[in-house]
Structure 1
């Protein structure tokens, strides 16, 4: 089993990991969501929605202590308005505050785009591949989707515990299963973008 540290090898586990996601109301720190371990007791990540910064299309993923690990923002302007894709960029943040581009996500901006999938590229780009490294399959608002690599392997799966769903009648609680070796920071950076795209807890 090989590790794939997109952002940090500290968040690559040698075993499959099940993490829980709980949405925060918009009135609490600008919205967003909290990621906990399988017991629900320890906070692993926190994603701050754009309301906390007053800036749209601007998300921050933090560790359990509140330190920023990843900044995600959407590229806007005239170039995007004319493009068939909306493009998001994820930047890792170090302790000095410097930013390094680590992934790009393309969201279809037009119903005319063939194969309307959301695709993610790891940065810097490798010259030999197809121009993308991962894609989203399924439908995030239904809590039934996967992040899949270019070979078709599922690297993370979003789902809902059926018993919890019946009890809560809500999709504010869901699980993410991350496969061994995958960078959990990267996975939740992508999930933060999906949350925003579909107008959920991180959206203003």
Structure 2
């Protein structure tokens, strides 16, 4: 198992989740994630409209417990950097923040726009492939998270039944391979949603 946040969120079989964006007018944005088969809520993501802070999102479980605090690193050095960094933190048993992963967002300049979005696992407990990248284009709901061996570990796609009627970017599927930490994957999706001005952004 590839445990990043918790082994509770690693399944023995492939899982298909459904992501539904919340409108900005309802609780200030964010999205919910349900199981495709049972329709039960698995995760909730609150954006800056709820939190009152920009460049920050929180991933919670179905009971509302915080799983990941995700925020964009700021400061003068960051402003001069060619890549913007997002960091995902979990809480240990004592309540202290623990850095578990980092996502590097390419700069908006023309030269760097085509650079891939890279993700690195920072947790010392993680023993698998520590580097991932995003392939495809998230705003089109056609992208994948790929490990360092080139294996697709998670894939974003439009829902087939909706695509035939009318493309809907506010409802889409997230397919996660067996053994991959679903909370980690949804955390990455939350950042992509924010970067591309989705429902998590004010």
TM-score range, shorter chain: over 0.9
Indicate if the aligned counterparts of 1:20 and 1:40 stay in contact, CA closer than 8 A.
Answer: no
* SS at structure 1 position matched to 2:64: coil
With structure 2 as the length reference, what TM-score do the two structures score?
Answer: 0.92
Matches within 5 A, 1:106-185: 106-109=104-107, 110-113=109-112, 116-124=115-123, 133-185=131-183
Whole-angstrom CA distance in 2 between matches of 1:10 and 1:146: 23
- TM-aligned CA deviation for residue 67 of structure 1: 0.7
Q: Quick one: distance in 2 between partners of 1:54 and 1:190?
A: 21
2:4 and 2:123 in contact (8 A); partners too: no
Contact persistence 1:47–1:192 (CA under 8 A): yes
Q: What is the CA–CA distance in structure 2 between the aligned matches of 1:115 and 1:198, rounded to whole Å?
A: 15
The equivalent residue for 1:14 is: 12
Which runs of structure 2 are paired with 1:75-94 in the superposition (5 Å)? 75-94=73-92
1:71-119 CA-to-partner distances (Å, cap 9, x unmatched) read: 0000011111110000000001246532100000000114333861000
Q: Given that residues 61 and 68 in structure 1 are in contact (C-alpha distance below 8 angstroms), is that contact kept between their aligned partners in structure 2?
A: yes
Q: CA deviation at 1:168?
A: 4.5
Equivalent pairs counted in the alignment come to: 199
Q: Structure 2, unaligned stretches of length 5 or more? A: none
Extract unaligned runs of 5+ from structure 1.
none
Q: Which residue of 2 aligns with 1:99?
A: 97
Once the two structures are overlaid, the 10-residue window that deviates more, 158-167 or 138-147, is 158-167
Secondary structure in structure 2 of the residue aligned to 1:174: strand
1 CA distance for matches of 2:101 and 2:11?
A: 20
Q: 1:8 & 1:115 partners in 2: Cα distance?
A: 33
The root-mean-square deviation of aligned C-alpha atoms, in Å, is: 2.0
SS at match of 1:167: coil
Aligned to 2:196: 198
Query: Aligned partners of 2:199, 2:94: CA distance in 1, in Å?
Result: 29
3-state DSSP of counterpart to 2:77 = helix
* 1:55–1:9 Cα change, 3 Å: same
Structure 1's 145 and 114: CA in aligned 2 closer, same or farther, altered over 3 A?
A: closer
Q: Hey, which bits of structure 1, 4+ residues long, moved more than 4 A?
A: none
Query: Are the counterparts in 2 of residues 62 and 68 from structure 1 also a CA contact under 8 Å?
Result: yes
In 2, Cα distance between equivalents of 1:101 and 1:111: 31
